[in-house]
Amino acid sequence: MKIYIGSDHAGFDLKEILIQYLKNLTYQVDDKGTFGPESVHYPNYAHAVAEAVSSDPTSLGVLICGSANGVCMTANKHKNIRAAIAWQPEIAALAKQHNNANILCLPARYLSEEEAKDVLNAYLKAEFEGGRHQIRVDLI
């Protein structure tokens, strides 16, 4: 599976860690930036990931910024994108199971490296349940 990943400066260090982690799990990772810790505008990277996921429906995305709010709001402006903020594994799993989230947004300033990996793992392992949840997703 291909995973598109992006961050702003606040999420850069965590993005780099998660890229290597995902590669070690044998995921194909496409880094949409930023490529350094200098201050940048998060919408540029959120748009890049959302556009990629929108045009590649078998893929998933991961976006990271300080609170995850900005990247999530930006990504959700795109057609067929369901971006969700998660800071606990259970929330990440539910985002996929009930909302068919195709982009996970992580708050870098509120997660340790290990917590971020746990949240990401829960998201990746979860499966969309469909059924009554599909009806609700269709209403979005």
Q: Which of 41, 47, 65, 78 is catalytic?
A: 65
Residue type, 46: A
If residue 98 lies in a helix (H) or strand (E), which one and from where to where?
helix 89-99
Cα 81 vs. chain centroid, distance in angstroms?
11
65 classed as catalytic: yes
Q: Contacts by 83-91 with C-beta closer than 8 Å and gap 24+?
A: 83/50, 86/119, 86/122, 86/123, 87/111, 87/115, 87/119, 88/119, 89/118, 89/119, 89/121, 89/122, 90/122, 91/119
How many other C-beta atoms are found inside a 10 Å radius of the C-beta of residue 94?
18
Give the Cα separation of 58 and 79 in Å (integer): 15
Q: Which of 9, 41, 72, 98 is catalytic?
A: 98
Q: Which residues are catalytic?
A: 65, 98
